[in-house]
Structure 1
Amino acid sequence: MITAYGWSRYWEDTLATTATPLSHSKELVPGRITAQYSHVYRVISSEGDRIAKVSGKFEYAAEARGDFPAVGDWVLLELLKGEPDAIIHAVLPRHSAMTRKQAGSIIEEQIIGANIDIVFLATALNQDYNARKLERFLIAAWESGAAPVVLLTKADLCDNTEALLQEVQSIALGVPVHCISVHERLGLEQLEDYLTSGTTIAVTGSSGVGKSTLLNWLIGNNVQEVQHIRNQDARGRHTTTHRELFLLPSGALLIDTPGMRELQLWDTVEGWHHTFADIEQLARQCRYRDCRHEAELDCAVQIALSEGRLEPLRFANYRKTEKELAHLARKERNVHRKRQKESGRSPGSKPKHRKRFQGEVDL
């Protein structure tokens, strides 16, 4: 059963090389997290579906929110005899994970989905279309280790589809971009090549872009409630209220996530470099290695801006996200130093454990 959910020789080898002493004292089986609720998880194993919680020892040892299981994770389970529940004792190392900073002022990582092969970045071709927001999602997707694919949804509502397609292709460098409409059955055949057996796909994007409608089409029935958006501003309410993994008829696996009002970046420096590779290439052509791309002599970036080869708004978002990531890094360091001081440990030592809430979902 678990092979249908992506269990493979890769995970067999991973399990063999990451076995813990716990595995010798308890009878543990592998399982995959298929849904994440307030404080519990739904897990699929060779014994079927179980509702599970992490063990007390796991919760105590976890040092950060990102250490807890997320949808898509492979975990080691203790199946309680005579009961429908299970205990999670360990999470197998992730080969990919899409993350963001937790909403609000708390400096904490939140896992959107784990062990993802492909990320569908959905953005609607209506009044909510925003190229700069798409760039933020691209940064997170590139950082995740999964392959990003951009889906321009609700193409039937757009009068200038070709122009927007070209714009997105110019910013989603090297990323496949597809215009689709589920209601009109436009472009859906383009997705078939991604839906291969055992492939895990995450669908993410803002509220109202049609993620649940797309999922319902892929799976063949209305598994997710669909809510209509407001015509005046093209915005909708959250349809998905938790993260969940679905097995599609094709054998592919799809993680549906709640629509995000905002995507606060988390430790995505590599993804930032990848998303703005065109600007990075220009920067390497500047006369001065430490060029700030403002008023320096022979600045290749400023020359590209003046000649129309670089869009001013794209460059502005490049600088904005650069400052945002630098600010986040400073705040992380400050939080780490504060925790070390509170714990009485010397700088550079491992922070004292702080108990975290498990499994909560921010909308």
Structure 2
Amino acid sequence: MTVDLYALGWSPALAERAARCGARLRPGRVVRADRGVLTTLCADGPVRASLAGAVLAAAAADPAELPCAGDWVLVRDWPDGRVTAEKLLPRSTAVIRRTAGKDSTGQVLAANVDTAAVVEPVHPEPDVGRIERLLALAWESGAQPLVVLTKCDLAADPAAVAAQIAEVAPRVAVLPVSAQRPGGLDALRPFVAAGRTLGLLGPSGAGKSSVVNGLVGGTAMATQTIRRVDGKGRHTTTYRALIPVPGGGAVLDTPGIRAVGLQAAGDGLARAFAEIAELVAACRFGDCRHEAEPGCAVRAALESGELPPRRWESWQRLNREVAVETDRRDARLAARRAGWRRQRRDRGYARP
């Protein structure tokens, strides 16, 4: 079996970077990661590779450095038949959510995707707050965000639903699709052309696996029937997987996301709420609290009906969450620096 790596997204820039790492290493794209073992697609086909010590050390210092589906790695073949992933190549994009717990470290959900699609079912009705949160995550990744409305065969007027969602997705295309209708996924095919990767983000039961199967033309991912009464169901995918698409390109499916924590850095939230960010910038005072200050563009927009209260409340809620994460990150860095100073002092490196 031979694999066209360029059809999977390999590039001259990556090839140049790989060449500097030595001739004994060859590239592969991670299609799945399982507890320290990667399934990669190399030029000669699928290869199972364990993580080398250098990769494990980098991941111990920063969990975001752990290879995941979509990553490009350099693998090495050993005389005894072992294969190890020796180096993680730089990512062009990364969808990272904050993990639960006090550490609030980042978990990479998908790497090197060109388009990050927020997948939301129209039946029984879309969750607008979830779409806003996932769009902030998609913008933060560096990929091009997209909203994909699934199960449109169950909606009386999919175009009307798409128009409503477009109001909370500024500067983002909103595509109603159906995996059950012939040609129902045609609007997504340009996003999985040769060399391009489409990442799917969404909750359990949103229809992500059905989208994957429809694009690939087979049963690449297992699915379960969704109850017609309430639209609920259970997604059988419990791992992230990159699936090549016939003719080139790939689609990256993620498990159903129950909770998405936003990271502290970046401008993903501002871009997901672009119209509010513009209003905030237009306020007369830079430290405006948007309560009773004169010249507040936000209050004026709320009073005129230009800015829906629900949208403003969602912006405030997510900003508070990011502020809390910023405080946690700063406290974590301060504790780490204090630990380094103690180590230097204990080793006799402290200044007199």
TM-score (normalised: structure 2): 0.90
* 1:67 is aligned to 2:70: no
Residue in structure 1 matched with residue 332 of structure 2 by the alignment: 335
Contact 2:185/2:214 (8 A) holds in 1: no
2:277 aligns to what?
A: 280
Distance 1:155 1:38 in 2: 37
3-state SS in 1 of match to 2:7 = helix
Equivalent-residue separation in structure 2 for 1:287 and 1:129 (angstroms): 36
The equivalent residue for 1:169 is: 166
Q: Which has the higher contact order (CA 8 A, sep 6+)?
A: 1
Aligned mates of 1:106, 1:237 — CA distance in 2: 29
Is 2:299 aligned against 1:302? yes
Whether 1:36 and 2:33 are equivalent positions in the alignment is yes
Count residues with an aligned counterpart.
340
- Residue 330 (structure 1) shift: 0.7
Residues of 2 paired with 1:346 and 1:138: CA distance? 42
Partner of 2:13: 10
Within 1, Cα distance between the matches of 2:297 and 2:308? 14
Q: What secondary structure sits across from 2:312 in the alignment? A: helix
Deviation at 1:105, TM superposition (A): 4.3
CA distance in 2, matches of 1:280, 1:270: 10
How far the C-alpha of 1:342 sits from its partner, in A, is: 3.7
Contact preservation (8 Å) 1:178, 1:187: no
**Pairwise CA RMSD:** 2.0
Contact 2:55 2:88 (C-alpha < 8 Å) held by counterparts: no
> 1:195 and 2:192 equivalent?
yes
The superposition leaves residues 152-208 of structure 1 with CA deviations (integer Å, 9 ceiling, x where unpaired) of 111122234333212211121111111111113364222232231111111111111
Structure 2 distance, partners of 1:340, 1:282, is 38
1:356 is matched with none
1:204 pairs with 2:207: no
List runs of 5+ in structure 2 lacking aligned partners: 345-352
**Matched letter for residue 10 of structure 2:** W
Q: Check 1:300–1:191 CA distance in 2 against 1; reply closer, same or farther (3 A cut).
A: same
Partner of 1:326: 323
Contact 2:264 2:323 in 1 (8 A): no
Identity, % of aligned positions? 34
Contact 2:185–2:215 at 8 Å: present in 1 too? Answer: no
Q: Judging changes above 3 Å, is the alpha-carbon distance between structure 1 residues 47 and 345 closer, same or farther for their aligned structure 2 residues?
A: farther
Tell me which of 154, 157, 165 is aligned to 2:154: 157
| In structure 1, distance between residues paired with 2:282 and 2:54 | 53
Q: What CA distance in whole angstroms lies between the structure 2 residues aligned with 1:185 and 1:306?
A: 46
Residue 231 of structure 1: how far off its partner (Å): 4.1
Letter in 2 for 1:65: P
Q: Which residue of 1 aligns with 2:135?
A: 138
Which residue identity lines up with residue 12 of structure 2 in the other structure? R
**Are the structure 2 counterparts of residues 174 and 61 from structure 1 closer, same or farther at C-alpha, using a change threshold of 3 Å?**
closer
Structure 1 portions without partners, runs of 5+: 348-363
The CA distance in 2 between the partners of 1:150 and 1:250, in whole Å, is 24
Q: Distance in 2 between matches of 1:245 and 1:123?
A: 20
